[in-house]
Structure 1
Amino acid sequence: MSLNFSDICIRLSLAVLFAGLIGWEREFRTRPAGLRTHILVCIGATIIAMIQKEIMFESLRIGVAYPELSGIIRSDPARLICQVVSGIGFLGAGTIVITKSSIHGLTTAASLWATAVLGLAVGMGYYSLAVAGMVLIFFSLTALKKFQSFSLSIFPTIKQVEIEYYHRETKEFIQNYFIDHKVKIRSTNFSIHFDRDSRIYSDIYTIELPKGITYIDIAEELAIEKNITKIHLVNI
């Protein structure tokens, strides 16, 4: 028992095909890891899985040829696979960008991890599992994105906005703006800090946007008030 050259070519070709589809979708959306990165990850995982298979076959051949060594020679078929699953986390972490306001790249990191798992499935020869997994992964990255956009058009959009301003009277202007534009305030968090002799008020509003109004609309219209110095989207 061993992998012949045709088996190797088939498995590597499937790895390139499956990872190429996922990587193309990520590159199309201009994500940090695109086509080549996903293909390389999947090929690497596939090769490691095939190496693990060969190690297992070699152990069986030695065990059959030399029965007296059967208690000495052992092969753990999951050892290299475990290293791939844990090691791919370092590459995925490189695609995650954390800023003060948000986190980007989690989906790409997850797609890299899933692509590595696909490579393992292909390399081990579990074709049905690999095909089903690829279809579901690609569905999650494409169709679910459209479903999210559709759901946002049905359910209210929740945003968290930080507004900094001078003078307490400006707070009334902000609240009146929300009331006039039917923007529902779910919660508010107030704070004050000092800039030399001036007080700067900082309010974080959790708001529910009505249909037809975006965060950009709110920011542009509130910016008309000269006492407002900062309008910042805390989370998306």
Structure 2
Amino acid sequence: MIENMDYLEIIKRLILAIIVSGIVGFDREYKNRPAGVRTHILVAVGACVIALIQEQIAAETVAYIKENPSLSGSISLNQGRLTAQVISGIGFLGAGTIMVNKTSVKGLTTAASIWAVACLGIAAGEGFYTITLIGFIAVILVLTVLEHIIRVPALKILEIDYTGDETIKHELVAFLKKENIEIRNVNYHICQEDNQRVYKLLLELECAPDIKAIDIIDYLADHPQVIKVILEDS
């Protein structure tokens, strides 16, 4: 607990919060995610300041009780109240990084990283250096290393509009299977557009993480019979 708010200790805790949150924010910004370095640092610094305020309030309360022992029974001290408000309140900021459309939800990891740096900021502000550093290492490992260890296949929706005949469908499906893309579901129908028959093929694909979507789109788009190609996350 900080007695009389030692300036060097305050600076040390704030710098630690800035460093760990800045590195986490750099990872998010480098990967072109909604919240970057400044957002993460501001969240951590704010949480750290709240933790410092909480410590100072606690220190002043204890000092006041020591000076006035007769009031010890009427003064209560709840050190978790302010930080609890930070943890619950930071969810609103994290929610702002989440983007939802008809086929996917994006930004959940960034929202979680914002919540995590708030916790790291509180730990730094409370002076729990070991917890802050170990927690920081865990967050960085999850964001940078774990995604390369755990390779989860991605589900994607592929829409192809083409002209010609049904043999084109077999040709396109054969290409996808050749690229080791598993087709889990197929929807197929025919319609008339601009006085010509257009075939609409809607496929649910399971793609390995190392398959580049742009390569699939480039091949299909270059096909002379293909009118439109749309590839979205499922």
TM-score (structure 2 length as normaliser): 0.80
- Displacement of 1:161 in angstroms is 2.8
Q: Return 5+ residue gaps in structure 2 as ranges.
A: none
CA deviation vs aligned residue, 1:152-211 (integer Å, no higher than 9, x gap): 7xxxx55423324367944x4223332255255442242659778988765432334589
CA deviation vs aligned residue, 1:66-117 (integer Å, no higher than 9, x gap): 2332232212111111111111112112222223343332222211111110
- Displacement of 1:37 in angstroms is 1.6
Cα distance 1:69–1:203, how it changes in 2: closer, same or farther (>3 A)? farther
3-state secondary structure, aligned to 1:231: strand
Q: Return 5+ residue gaps in structure 1 as ranges.
A: none
Quote the Cα distance in structure 2 between the aligned partners of 1:113 and 1:210.
Answer: 30
Question: In structure 2, what is the equivalent of residue 235 of structure 1?
Answer: 233
Quote the Cα distance in structure 2 between the aligned partners of 1:88 and 1:205.
Answer: 39
Quote the Cα distance in structure 1 between the aligned partners of 2:117 and 2:73.
Answer: 36
Cα distance 1:215–1:29, how it changes in 2: closer, same or farther (>3 A)? closer
Quote the Cα distance in structure 2 between the aligned partners of 1:98 and 1:132.
Answer: 33
| Percent sequence identity over aligned pairs | 36
Quote the Cα distance in structure 1 between the aligned partners of 2:85 and 2:197.
Answer: 55
Quote the Cα distance in structure 1 between the aligned partners of 2:141 and 2:131.
Answer: 15
- Displacement of 1:53 in angstroms is 1.2
Structure 1 range deviating more: 213-222 or 102-111: 213-222
- Displacement of 1:218 in angstroms is 3.1
Contact 2:159 2:230 in 1 (8 A): yes
3-state secondary structure, aligned to 2:78: coil
Q: Which amino acid aligns with 2:161?
A: Y
> Are 1:160 and 2:156 an aligned pair?
yes
Quote the Cα distance in structure 2 between the aligned partners of 1:138 and 1:186.
Answer: 35
CA deviation vs aligned residue, 1:10-59 (integer Å, no higher than 9, x gap): 11121122122222222333332222221111111011011111122222
Contact 2:54 2:82 in 1 (8 A): yes
Q: 1:215 aligns with which of 195, 202, 213?
A: 213
Cα distance 1:26–1:70, how it changes in 2: closer, same or farther (>3 A)? same
Question: In structure 2, what is the equivalent of residue 179 of structure 1?
Answer: 174
